[in-house]
Structures are given as C-alpha cells and as structure tokens.
Structure 1
C-alpha cells in the first residue's frame, strides 16, 4: 500500500488554511502522486504534522469526499478513491478552432456582425447618442427611489407584468398624446429594456428566417443587427434629402417589414417628407407588411414644426412605434417602450416574458412617479435647452475654426451632426487624427450595409450633447489643428429629389 508523504504541504498562515490542504491533496491526487488506494493519515495525525487544528483537516477531508477524491471505511481509515482519467488537455485555440467553437446559425451571424460593444468611460467630445446627463435631477431621483424602498410591498418584490408597470404604461401613453400627437391606450404600450430590445422583439415576432426586412442605407447598424440575427435578410434603400426613397421600396412576397427613423434619420439627420410617409404606409397596407418606426430623439427639434409620427397617420394598424428614454434621461437606465397594434400586444408581451420576464420593477415604479409629479416634463424642457445651447456652441465654434475647411453643418433636430467629406480616405484620415487627440468621431462607413457598393463620398457623425459648451469649443479647435490639411470639400445640396454631391474647392 502506498505510504502518504506530507512533504510539500507547506502551510502559508496568511491564506485560508483549509483551502490550501484541499488544493494540495487534490493536486497530488490528480497528478497521480497519490495513487488510488493510498491511505491518508487520520485527521488528528495530519493536523499534528501540519500544525493546524483537527477541525480544519476534517473540513478539508469532507470537501475531498464530496468531490469523489477520497473514500472512507468505518474503522479502517481514509483512502484515495479510484480516479477517472483526466481528459486530454485541450488544444490551444487557433483562429480556425475558435471560429468553429459554436455551430449555431446565430453564432455565425454574430461573427459577421461584430461585437458592437459600446465605448467605455465618461462621455467626451463628440460621442454620439449621449444626452446632457449632467442635467439630470439626481437628488429627485434618489428621493423617489428611497421612498419606493421605504414603502414597497411584497407584491412589487416578486415577478411582474412582462408588458411593464401599469402606472408607467399609462403615463407614457398620456405623454405621447400630448407631446407627439400619438393617441394610444395604455394596453398598447410595452415597456422594454431600451429601444434596442423593442426592435429585437419585433423582429423575432414578425420575421421568419429568409424573410426580407427593408432598412435605410445608410442607417442605424444596431437595428440592422437585431433584425439580421433572426435570420432575415436586409434590403437597403437609399436616403436622400426627403428621407428613404420610397419609390424604390421592393414589393416581393417575402419583404415583410421596414425599419425607419423618419423624424431624424440616423445618421444623416434628414426628415422623411409627408408624401413619402404616406407612400410608406401605403406600401405596408397593400402588402400587409409591418413598419418599425424608431423615434429615438423626437423630443429634440430646433427649427420648424415636427411632422406627426407615422403611427399617428396609420389608419390600418401596421406601424409599431418605438421610443427610448435613454436620450432624455440617461442610457444606463435601460428603459424604452413601444406602442403596438392591439392584436400584437399580447404576443409581444408573451415573447418578452419568455426571454427575460420584465424590466426592473423599482426603476419602472420610480419613473412612473417621476412622471406623475411633473418632473419628467420639467426635465424635458431642461434637456431641450441644454441640447440647443450645446448645438449652438458647436455651430459657433465650427464657424470660427472651420476644421479642414468643411462648411458648418445644418442641425435642425436631434443630438448629432452629419459632416460630409469628399472621400472614404478623407473620412478615415479624420477619424484617425481625431482619435489621436482623444476626440470621438463616428465614421460614416459603419452605417452602410456590408453589401453596399463603395460610396463616392465619406463623412463623420458628431454627437454634441454629452459634454458642455467649453468642452465642445475646445474639441472643435483641437480638431481644426489635427485635420489642418485643407480638403476639397463637397457641398451637400438638399434638392427636392436627392442629396447631390457637388465638388467644390475650399479656399
């Protein structure tokens, strides 16, 4: 019978002693240094050898018993159990083996789409998609949260309605009727984890693998990704000065859905004209198709009167209206909503329930009270003023410094500006130069569908609401320095028919 040798079991008094005994014995057993049927010392004997308490050794033995490494017979002692041979060491992953580690179609689609991970760290110029979070009333929010936890009920600590908190759904419906002219019943409102989840739920519910979804091109890449993950194919339709070119809408049998950002196209910032809104609704009606209307920043408008949402013009109930609270409150809240035709409400809520049940109850209840006490409406007005001030700061600084000789952008709505550049090469030069100066620019090329033909021009997207006016002015001045080589800038001519690129030298 093999004899137990305690050599090497040295106890470090600064670390948990029991874990050291377990790890030391387990390592020897797995390495074959303590073969099967080896008799271990009695717990009292091993404790004396190691200079530890007997209870510590007993606990270590119990752990190894539970793992199947030891066996014991009453009156006979403790022995090493017969071990199952360890599996062969896995091969070091190579690009080929890593790609084939998952075999599902979803994994393959994810690899094609990339990770899409958001940039970490605090906002800086000119990160897109970030509102003026420094204007959020944190004290009020904290007070409402504290009140919720002082008075919460056992019911609110359990699972809740997948469609969302009833009070919050009622407040959202009330707000949309007054602010956006969209009249709906609370039963049509579904609260989601941001607009992204709303888009994904709609795509899963309304599309089969092989169906075709129409999207704006260029357009919002995360929406395209959510749709593509269902196995549907994407059909891009060009955008001009009046928005998506609805005369180019496909009419095939498998073209089941269109995703659009009509109030403020992302990224170009154009508005879908009323005639084209009506044409899009007619396309959906005639083919019994669906429209996902993403009104991601409809609260921000600096010039003119906003056109009514598609959903408010839809008399046939083919439009799903998607909104987010990320652009008005803060993205980390992860709350959005959608207004759906009544016949879809139950099915979408059931799908949500099967995926992740519901959003945080506490956040929903607190937000409903934030609405009820009038804080949300006051915050909307505060955020609009902040966004307009920062937009004006960007325009003034751009007029003063003219980075690269590029004309001052037009910003009628939203939280970002679109800058057109004469070529893809110039676009990439700007992005590289800005990155070296700790300035964030979104390249236009990431908004084109992968199968798109190479664009004849480039561009960059600038978010302007996430930092204050001083930071904006400083970033514009720095950008002017790092892209100092004048470019032959293309002028965007917003005609009735298209966004034309007219070559024009910039002095």
Structure 2
C-alpha cells in the first residue's frame, strides 16, 4: 500500500511531461517535491518515506530516490536525521526558486463563470464573516449553554451507541427527538402536531429549501415580508421562485387588497415576532391569510425563529395552531435557544405530507448526526431544555433593558424603531433616510463593533435606514464601550 506522499508524487509526475530524456527523471521528481513544499502539500516538519520505500512506490530505482533526497537536502528543502528519516525543513531556503505549476495538455483553463442559479445564490448572499461580538444580531449567549450536562448525555450514549445511530437518517430525524419536539411544540407553542409530521433538518435554511423544492416549481412566486429575513432570498433564488415583497406595519404583513393580490405559491411570514422589525401579526390578518391560502392553493411558511424570548405579556401562539389541517408549514430552530453550531432545526408539515417529506429529506440531504439528535432528545425529556430557556429569558431581558437604557441615555427613545416590541434577541434603531446605514455598518465593523444595516433587509426601494443591534451575547457590563463607539460613528455621520 502506498503512502500519501507516494500518491501525491505519482499524481504530480503524471501531470508533468512524459518520455523524459536522460537525467530528466531526477529533475522531474525534484520539481514535484519542491512544488509540493512550496504550495504546502508537504508541510514543514513532515516525514518523507525512506528512499527504498519511495523507490518501490514510484517504480523507480533506489539510486534515483537517493539522488533526489540528497539533492534536496543540499538545496535546503529537506533534512536527513540519522536513524530517524528524511524531513521537510521548517524554514524554506533563501531565494528558493518556485517550481512551475504542472499543466495538463489539451485542457482549456477553468472558467470562473457560475450557472444562473449559482449567480442568483451568490448575489443574494448576506452571511457575515464575523459571528461573535457586540452587537451581532440573532446570536444567543453560547457561553451559557450547559455544555457539561449535554456532553455527559452524549458521552454516555456514545459508549453504547447502536448501529442505527451511526447510519444515515431515513425517517425525518431521530424518532425520540421528533417525539420530544412534538411534545414541546404542543405545550409551548400551541402547535397541533404528531411526531410523524416533523422533519429534523440541519438548520432553518435546509428546512426552507426542502419546503420550496417539494411544494414549488421554478417560475412560481412567493410573498415575502418587506423588510424580512434575508436568508430566504437565496433559497428562493436558487430554486427559481420569484419574490413579491409585501410591506410590514404594526399588524405584521400587510396583505394585498383582495382585488390586487397577485397569485403566489408561498407566503413566508414571521407572525409571532416579525423579523427584523418586531410586530406581532394581528389575529384578523392571520385568519385573512389562512383563508386566502386555502382558497388560492397557497402554502404559508411560518418561521417561528425566536418566539421563546418574549419579555412582557403572554406568549403569542403559533399561526399553525389556528389551522392544524390547513396549508401551513411551521419551521423552528434550536439555533436561538441553544447555539447555532448545533445545526438542528425542524419543519412541521400537514399529516398527509409527512411520509413524503421524510423520503425527500433522506434523498436530498442524506441526514445524519443521530447521536447529537439522540442527546438533544434526552436533554429535552429531562426538562433541561425548558429550564435553560427560562434561565436565558431572564438574562436576555436584563440585557435588552440595558441596551434600551443606553439608547435612551445617549441618543433618545425616538431612535428605537416604532414597531419594536419587547421580544427577541435584537433592537432596531431607526436613522434618517439621508444617512447611509451600510457605510455605518462598514465603519463600525472596522472598529470591532458588529451591526447590520436595516436597509439590507429590504428587497426593493424605498428602503428604511437603521441598524439592527443584537444584545443576547453581550453581558451588561460589556455593552458600554462598543455602544460608545457606535454613538461616535453615528454622530460623525449625522454631521456630514
């Protein structure tokens, strides 16, 4: 059996010129090793096969392998340790010539053009390269997650792990987790469902993609909230679904007038806490949307992303609970309640679609991570999940109160968006239309402060200007300094 180094060198030799003249074989092998060292394929300090072993793997004489090693030792690329072997030097030789990149004859240069779907997906990309720090929106305090307790459950399960936990997921996710999710949703969110209606996915994006793939066709249209969750745009774009932005007011999505409603296959809504502005969809609009969907063959996709964190008043029940047999797909996630890296979300579909969604999920994504799902199921059944939410609700309420007080003290209450509600993990600041919130976002990021420009959440003009500030991952004692930085940038921009 060949070593990895042997496989690497054989591949590179195959890409270089064939039928070498006398002495060219030595040069070619030297160039291949030099090139692999230059581009990092052979890491500094890594051990190479013995000359006898390398000669056997490559089909050369040992004299050739010995000559090449001695040559590269003399050039300073390798070092020979008596009784130990030959190693790549930690430091490159001074003024080392770069080996030319191997070229494959007859193959045209790789083109950089993407497919139309690829361009559409990249064009809609909004994900930040920074995912931690003040004031990153939508990020819970992952340091508060009871990691030791969860890891203990996972470790115990791993010691007696059955083969079923080590294979692909074919039933919409681990059965025990689907049971735990169903029980939790019935109690906490008034969702009417059974475990077979639940599909466990790797994040909300996968859940949304599965829904759009199975229930929509290229050329269909979708109502999306304006402003709204930016993550849905790439899912719709890559699946060929046309977006129809629908404005949001104090009652949530403003449904178009009956006589002017353009037919759409989907309506994507966040009725319990509109993202990002915060209003709750009124009961009248909920029933109006359900009635329209049932008459027109529309699917309502309810994204219930952070409903657990409401700090005043009663919990807001799900829209799905108003029409359990209706055209509503309920989507939830553990990213806000536990931590995003867990990569577990779920969709609740009507009972007659459960089996089809299970099959499609297995076919499209080949789900796995069943050990993690099993651990989460036990974590929930022990009551630890509900206890963690109660604990974090108190913590987040204090942090929201702190951020709001800073806004009121340094800027004024009028800077908080009028549609803001005391819920969720972020606060929205409103800015004058003449202020470039994208420029403010860039300037803040350069100074180590994260905020998202509100205009990013709009599909079309007119776009409101503002800043979306997450508070959940920032302890009260660490808010003042980044907030002062934010105020300085705002005031400087307002004077321009």
What's the TM-score once normalised by structure 1's chain length?
A: 0.77
Instruction: Name the residue aligned to 2:78.
Output: none
381, 388, 400: which is aligned to 2:390?
381
Contact 2:277–2:417 (CA under 8 A) maintained in structure 1: no
Q: In structure 1, the residue corresponding to 2:435 is in which secondary structure?
A: helix
Question: Aligned partners of 1:287, 1:24: CA distance in 2, in Å?
Answer: 60
Count of paired positions: 427
Question: Aligned partners of 1:343, 1:424: CA distance in 2, in Å?
Answer: 51
Offset at 1:317? Answer: 1.6
Quick check: 1:326 aligned with 2:313?
A: no
Bigger Rg, which one:
1
Please, which runs of 5 or more residues in structure 2 have no aligned partner?
Answer: 27-49, 62-102
Instruction: Name the residue aligned to 2:489.
Output: 482
Quick check: 1:454 aligned with 2:462?
A: yes
Quick check: 1:361 aligned with 2:370?
A: yes
Question: Aligned partners of 1:345, 1:458: CA distance in 2, in Å?
Answer: 42
Instruction: Name the residue aligned to 1:132.
Output: 141
Q: In structure 2, the residue corresponding to 1:238 is in which secondary structure?
A: strand
Question: Aligned partners of 2:359, 2:171: CA distance in 1, in Å?
Answer: 7
Instruction: Name the residue aligned to 1:294.
Output: 303
Contact 1:194–1:324 (CA under 8 A) maintained in structure 2: yes
Contact 2:407–2:413 (CA under 8 A) maintained in structure 1: no
Contact 2:136–2:470 (CA under 8 A) maintained in structure 1: yes
Offset at 1:447? Answer: 0.9
Question: Aligned partners of 1:306, 1:205: CA distance in 2, in Å?
Answer: 32
1:244–1:89 distance in 2 versus 1, CA, 3 Å: same
Quick check: 1:106 aligned with 2:124?
A: no
Question: Aligned partners of 1:424, 1:344: CA distance in 2, in Å?
Answer: 49
Offset at 1:399? Answer: 2.1
1:236-385 matches, within 5 Å, as 236-248=245-257, 251-253=261-263, 255-314=264-323, 316-385=325-394
Contact 1:193–1:336 (CA under 8 A) maintained in structure 2: yes
Instruction: Name the residue aligned to 1:34.
Output: 21
| 1:245-301 per-position Cα deviation (integer Å, ceiling 9, x unaligned) | 014476445x11100011111111111111111111111011121100000001010
1:429–1:89 distance in 2 versus 1, CA, 3 Å: same
Contact 1:403–1:483 (CA under 8 A) maintained in structure 2: no
Offset at 1:467? Answer: 1.8
1:469–1:19 distance in 2 versus 1, CA, 3 Å: same
Offset at 1:111? Answer: 3.8
Question: Aligned partners of 2:133, 2:217: CA distance in 1, in Å?
Answer: 40
Instruction: Name the residue aligned to 1:422.
Output: 432
Question: Aligned partners of 2:236, 2:482: CA distance in 1, in Å?
Answer: 35
What's the TM-score once normalised by structure 2's chain length?
A: 0.79
Question: Aligned partners of 1:273, 1:430: CA distance in 2, in Å?
Answer: 34
Quick check: 1:87 aligned with 2:97?
A: no
Contact 1:213–1:233 (CA under 8 A) maintained in structure 2: yes
Offset at 1:403? Answer: 7.9
Instruction: Name the residue aligned to 1:228.
Output: 237
Contact 1:191–1:359 (CA under 8 A) maintained in structure 2: no
Contact 2:246–2:256 (CA under 8 A) maintained in structure 1: no
1:288–1:473 distance in 2 versus 1, CA, 3 Å: same
Offset at 1:150? Answer: 1.1
Instruction: Name the residue aligned to 1:166.
Output: 175
Q: In structure 2, the residue corresponding to 1:321 is in which secondary structure?
A: strand
1:408–1:280 distance in 2 versus 1, CA, 3 Å: closer
Quick check: 1:57 aligned with 2:55?
A: yes
Q: In structure 2, the residue corresponding to 1:143 is in which secondary structure?
A: helix
Offset at 1:345? Answer: 1.1
Instruction: Name the residue aligned to 2:80.
Output: none
| 1:67-106 per-position Cα deviation (integer Å, ceiling 9, x unaligned) | xxxxxxxxxxxxxxxxxx9424745x7xxx523xx4x442
Quick check: 1:412 aligned with 2:419?
A: no
1:143–1:107 distance in 2 versus 1, CA, 3 Å: same
1:23–1:211 distance in 2 versus 1, CA, 3 Å: closer
Contact 2:225–2:246 (CA under 8 A) maintained in structure 1: yes
Offset at 1:405? Answer: 8.2
Offset at 1:228? Answer: 2.2
Root-mean-square deviation (Å): 3.1
Please, which runs of 5 or more residues in structure 1 have no aligned partner?
Answer: 1-15, 41-51, 64-84, 489-507
